[in-house]
């Protein structure tokens, strides 16, 4: 079994942001030389997420508004600790902090519109993503 682990750091200028990281993940897959396996991608912070969906700017704004509706910025118990990012924790739970991508014939085996996104919900500071490839 081969494996390769890489870490990427994102520091978004906005509190909430959505970054297409498909190319970065693909590069790690190529570097790993894994032909058949899985690529695991996860935010290492609990106020960010990873999801697979469309690279269409209107939809990305729809997703952002929808997340704010279901997990709004508000006054949470968590804020008694001095934090103000309770909503970011809930948004992270909603989109999930991680995804798995299949690798076939040495490349990501995605459908025609599937793109991998890093979803930042509490940005303006450096945050890490782990990409781990396993397979053969």
Give contact residues for a second copy (rule: CB under 8 A).
1, 3, 5, 36-38, 40, 42-46, 51-54, 56, 58-59, 61-63, 66, 70-71, 76-81, 86, 89-90, 92-100, 102, 104, 109-114, 128, 130, 132, 134-136
- Which one, 30 or 114, has the nearer CB to a second copy? 114
Q: How far is the CB of 126 from a second copy (least distance, A)?
A: 12
- Which one, 20 or 61, has the nearer CB to a second copy? 61
**29 with 39: CB under 8 angstroms?**
yes
Query: Sign of the CA dihedral 19, 129, 25, 63?
Result: negative
- Which one, 15 or 54, has the nearer CB to a second copy? 54
Q: How far is the CB of 13 from a second copy (least distance, A)?
A: 21
Q: How far is the CB of 15 from a second copy (least distance, A)?
A: 18
d(CA 76, CA 131): 32
Q: How far is the CB of 51 from a second copy (least distance, A)?
A: 6
Within 8 A by CB and 6+ apart from 115, the residues are 20, 22, 52, 53, 54, 55
- Which one, 27 or 79, has the nearer CB to a second copy? 79
Put the strands of the sheet holding 127-135 in their side by side order: 2-10, 127-135, 37-43, 98-104, 107-108
Tell me the residue ranges of DSSP E strands in 11-97.
17-20, 37-43, 48-53
């Amino acid at each position: 079994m081969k494996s390769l682990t890489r870490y990427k750091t994102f520091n978004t200028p906005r509190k909430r942001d959505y970054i297409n990281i498909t190319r970065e993940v693909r590069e790690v897959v190529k570097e790993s030389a894994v032909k058949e396996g899985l690529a695991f991608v996860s935010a290492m912070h609990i106020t960010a997420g990873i999801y697979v969906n469309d690279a269409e700017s209107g939809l990305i704004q729809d997703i952002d508004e929808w997340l704010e509706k279901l997990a709004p910025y508000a006054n949470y118990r968590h804020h008694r600790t001095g934090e103000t990012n309770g909503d970011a924790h809930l948004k992270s739970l909603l989109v999930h902090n991680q995804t798995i991508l299949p690798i076939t014939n040495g490349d990501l085996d995605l459908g025609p519109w599937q793109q991998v996104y890093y979803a930042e919900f509490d940005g303006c500071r450096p945050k890490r993503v782990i990409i781990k490839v396993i397979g053969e």
